[in-house]
């Protein structure tokens, strides 16, 4: 697990910017996931899949099945955060 703490800005489909704190990159079943905290919401955590090569990475929303699998694997870590 990589430990980070930096600000990241994501732009949604409508061109609206959203600011997050990037807490960690974790691996579940050999897939990397970014754990993000929205700037405007305390106690909330967003998990997005990291895709692409170093320097050209993008963050992808999880479907329900993937979310359930990742949430179960990260259960103890999510409680810590």
pLDDT digits (tens, 9 = 90+) for 22-69: 988 999 999 999 999 998 877 788 999 999 988 888 999 999 999 999
Domain range spanning residue 51? Answer: 2-80
Stated pTM of the model: 0.80
Q: What is the mean predicted confidence (pLDDT) over 13-23?
A: 93
How many domains, the chain?
Answer: 1
Does residue 1 surpass a pLDDT of 80? no
Give kind and range of the element (H or E) at residue 30.
Answer: none
Q: 3-state DSSP call for residue 46?
A: strand
């Amino acid at each position: 697990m990589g430990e980070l703490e930096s600000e990241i800005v994501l732009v949604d489909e409508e061109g609206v910017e959203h600011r997050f704190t990037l807490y960690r990159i974790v691996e579940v079943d050999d897939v990397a996931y970014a754990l993000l905290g929205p700037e405007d919401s305390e106690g909330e955590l967003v998990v997005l899949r990291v895709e692409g090569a170093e320097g050209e990475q993008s963050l992808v929303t999880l479907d329900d099945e993937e979310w359930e699998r990742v949430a179960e694997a990260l259960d103890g870590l999510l409680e810590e955060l």
